[in-house]
Amino acid sequence: MTSTAWTSRFRVHTKVAAAFRSGPVFLAGDAAHCHSPAGGQGLNTGVQDGYDLGWKLAAVCAGAEPGLLDSYEAERRPSAVRAVGNADRQTKLWLLRSTVSRFLRDTLLRRLSASGALEKRLVPELAQVDLDLTASPIVSGAPSDGVRPGRRVPDTALSMVYGREADSLHGYIASGRHTVVVLGVSGTDTAAVRAAETAARRHAGTAGSNVDVLLIRPTDRGDTFSVPSALPAHDVAAGRYGTTTQAMYVRPDGVVGALVPLDHPGRIAELLARIPVGGEQGRVPYIS
């Protein structure tokens, strides 16, 4: 720059509301938090506020327990605090005044970028797809096979055999519906898995169902799986997904809400009955 016609001072305000809910009033987006524009995290944070609150309000309006709404602040305020902290650190990093400090910063960032470490850490953080909701009151289950309740569901390639088209699990759940994924493991034809398939067909065939059911069978043997003579009322795909026979509930925001081992025939029915979608299901405020 050689000259300026007009200048002003920009002040960075860093604030997070003490509470995101007061009775029937909810705060979201810039009303709940504000920070430096560094990293462009404000839009992502606000949109995720609205999405988190939106699916929970929809469930409660459909008949789910109002206590479900208590999880909004428990999930979104820590995420906002984290985003504000990240933006504040980036602002300080970009505004270093010392020539030596700027040289060290630029050198370090170039090396981290060349190694791929910067993008691996920074991109998920800025896109906010690495949220940690493991402390949420509506998340349950122990981690298994790389799946962690409270974290974004890991992706896997799918080869759809029956149901709507998708070439990956992330593509399948992009519709934003509640989804139960039944994971069958090669060589296991247990009563629990058969009961899960039966419950999935019965549930998905229910009029007005708000839950998608996806059965993933393994791809590592010749006869991967057989489709029943009567076409199943749920989606079936072949893919690779861990070594444990289990079922996971994926929320509309792509977060794993519950993970249960299919160790007895009634497991899948219990899981389906406790998904917070209202109606005859989801009358409890969280999955236990």
For 252-272, how does the pLDDT look when each residue is reduced to its tens digit (9 = 90+)? Answer: 999 999 998 887 777 877 888
Residue 217: HSE in the Cβ half-sphere, 13 Å Cα cutoff: 20
- The tokens of 253 are what? 């925001």
pLDDT of amino acid 232: 46
Residue 196 has pLDDT above 70, yes or no: no
Residue with tokens 């949420």: 136
- The tokens of 225 are what? 């799986």
**Distance between CA atoms of 103 and 121, rounded to whole angstroms?**
22
Cα 194 → chain centroid: 28
Cβ of 68: how many Cβ atoms within 10 Å? Answer: 21
pTM of the model: 0.81
For 217-227, how does the pLDDT look when each residue is reduced to its tens digit (9 = 90+)? Answer: 776 544 344 44
